[in-house]
Amino acid sequence: MAAEIVNPRSDSSTDNSAEGAPEEPFDPAFALHRGGKMAIQATVPVRDRDDLSLAYTPGVAKVCSAIAEQPELVNDYTWKSNVVAVVTDGTAVLGLGDIGPEASLPVMEGKAILFKQFGGVDAVPIALATTDTDEIIETVVRLAPSFGGVNLEDISAPRCFEIERRLQEELDIPVFHDDQHGTAVVTLAALRNAARLTGRTLGDLRAVISGAGAAGVAIAKFLLAAGLGDVAVADRKGIVSRDREDLTDVKRELAEITNRAGLTGSLESALAGADVFIGVSGGTVPEPAVASMAPRSFVFAMANPNPEVHPDVAHKYAAVVATGRSDYPNQINNVLAFPGIFAGALQVRASRITEGMKIAAANALADVVGDALAADYVIPSPFDERVAPAVTAAVAAAARAEGVARR
C-alpha cells in the first residue's frame, strides 16, 4: 500500500476562495477539496548547487541526448513508465451526467489519488474542453509521449467506444476506459464467487443487464468472453434484440452476440427465470420482477446512490446481493481493478490491455476471497491490502503470456 496521501496545501490560513463568492456553510466535502486533492512532489532533493546541476542543467542534457539516440530510454530516465493520463470531457460524470470539464475535475483528481493510493501509480487529471471525438483523439495522441498509459474516464456512450478503439490503434501504450472495463472486471470476479458459493459455473447462468451504455455493453461482452451461459441487455425501450429497428451500431453489434434465448419485450419479462440481474442504469425494478427470478439468484444492483433493487428487497429472493455502495456488503467498486491493472501493465511496459489481462485481473480478485467466501463476502474490500498486489502480478503475467509485454 502506498503512503498516506496528504494535501500540502491544507493550511487553514490559506484562503483560495474566489473573490465575491458566497460563503458556504461548513461541509467536510468542501473542506477536504479546498485547494485540490493532489500536488506535484519531487522525488529527488535540490538542496544545493550540485543537486541543481544534476537535476537540471547541465546534467539533464546528458539524459536528454541519450533519450534522443535511444527513445526507449525515456521509460528508464523519466516518470513516463509509471504515470497515467486520466482523460475526460466531462460528459458522463458519476451520477451527475454532462457537467462539463471544469466540474469534472474533482472526480478526476479523486481518480488520480486512488491510482496512487491503491496501485502506487502516478496519474494526472486532464479535462478537455471539447466533446468532438476527433479532437479528443488528436489531443490525447499529441499528449501521449508524456505518459505510460491512458485512462479514459466519464466520457459518454457511444463516443467512448470509438475513442478508446481508435486511440489504442494509434498508440503503443495501454488505453483503458474504466467505466467499461473496470466495472466489467469487478463484476466478473463477484459473479465467479457467487457461482462458486452456490455450486454452479458461469456457463450455468443466464443474466439480464439493465443498461446498454458503456458499462452495460462492456459487462455483457466480457462475461460472454469469460464463459457466461447467456445474457440479455435492456435499454429504455426493452431488450436489445435482432428484431429491433431502432438500434445504434453498438447495440446492433451487441444484439448479434447476446440474447441467445431470443427474448423480446421488457426488462421485467426477461427477468422471469433469470439467474442474475446486473443493474448499471438507475431506475427501479419492481419487486414482482425480482421475485420471478430463478431460485438462488444473484442481484447486482449497482446504481448509486439508489440501487435499482434495494438490498432489503433483493435479500427476500436472492442468494447473493451486491451494490455499488460502500455501506452494504459486496461493493462492486472499480478501485478494486484499475490501480492493479495499470500497475501490472506498466510494470512490464505492456503495449495494450488485452481481454486475457482483464480476465486474469478478475480471477485474481476473486481468488483473494478464498475460503472466506460467504453470501455477504463474494468480493473483497478496496482496503484489503492483498488486492492490488494480486491483480498487479496476474496482469503482468498475462501480458507476458500474450506477448504484449516489452520487459
pLDDT at residue 282, as a whole number: 85
Q: What is the pLDDT of residues 72-104, one digit of tens each?
A: 999 999 999 999 999 999 999 987 899 999 999
pLDDT in tens, 210-246: 999 999 999 999 999 999 999 999 999 999 999 999 9
- As a whole number of angstroms, the distance between CA 104 and CA 123 comes to 15
Task: Enter the C-alpha cell of residue 220.
Answer: 455483457
DSSP label of 275: S
d(CA 323, CA 306): 9
**Intrachain domains 74-173 and 178-407 with the same fold:** yes
Query: Is 111 among the residues known to form the active site?
Result: yes
Residue found by looking up cell 488486492 in the block: 387
Residue 14: per-residue pLDDT: 42
CA distance 117 to 115: 6
DSSP strands (E only) in 198-331: 206-210, 230-235, 238-239, 276-279, 297-301, 318-323
Q: Quick: pLDDT tens for 36-46.
A: 999 989 999 99
pLDDT at residue 155 tops 90: yes
Which set of grid coordinates corresponds to residue 51? 543537486
Residues 6+ positions from 132 with CB-CB distance below 8 Å: none
Q: Are 319 and 95 in contact (CB under 8 A)?
A: no
DSSP state of 72: G
Q: Would you put residue 262 in left (φ > 0), alpha (ψ -120 to 50) or beta?
A: left
Crossing angle between the packed helical segments 159-170 and 178-197, to the nearest 10 degrees = 100
Helix axes 214-225, 178-197, angle to 10 degrees: 50
Q: How far apart, in Å, are the Cα atoms of 209 and each of 19, 190, 213?
A: 48, 15, 11
pLDDT score recorded for residue 24: 55
- State the number of CA atoms in the 13 A half-sphere of 382 facing the CB: 19
pLDDT band at 19 (very low <50, low <70, confident <90, very high): low
* CA distance linking residue 197 with residue 319, whole number of Å: 9
- The pLDDT value recorded for residue 25 is 63
| Model pLDDT, residue 304 | 87
Where does the pLDDT of residue 12 fall: very low under 50, low under 70, confident under 90, or very high at 90 and above? very low
The whole-angstrom separation of Cα 126 and Cα 228 is: 36
Is residue 377 annotated as part of the catalytic site, yes or no? Answer: no
Question: DSSP of 133-197, one letter per residue?
Answer: HHHHHHHHHHHGGG-SEEEE-S--TTHHHHHHHHHHHH-SS-EEEHHHHHHHHHHHHHHHHHHHH
CATH of 74-173, one of 3.40.50.10380, 3.90.1150.150, 3.30.530.20, 3.30.420.40: 3.40.50.10380
> What kind of fold does domain 178-407 have according to CATH?
Rossmann fold (3.40.50)
* Boundaries of every domain in the chain: 74-173, 178-407
- Identify the active-site residue in 80, 111, 251, 358: 111
Q: What is the DSSP string of 366-397?
A: HHHHGGG-BTTBSS--TT-TTHHHHHHHHHHH
Question: How far, in Å, CA of 14 to CA of 31, rounded?
Answer: 12
Stronger pLDDT, 183 or 10, i.e. the higher one:
183
Cα 264 from Cα 273, distance rounded (Å) = 14
Q: Is the pLDDT score of 20 beyond 90?
A: no
Q: How far is CA 219 from CA 4, 121, 335, 383, in A?
A: 33, 25, 16, 24
Query: Is the pLDDT reported for residue 11 higher than 90?
Result: no
3-state secondary structure at position 262:
coil
Return the number of other C-beta atoms located less than 10 Å from residue 270's C-beta: 27
How confident is the prediction for the chain on average, in pLDDT? 93
Quote the pLDDT of residue 15.
47
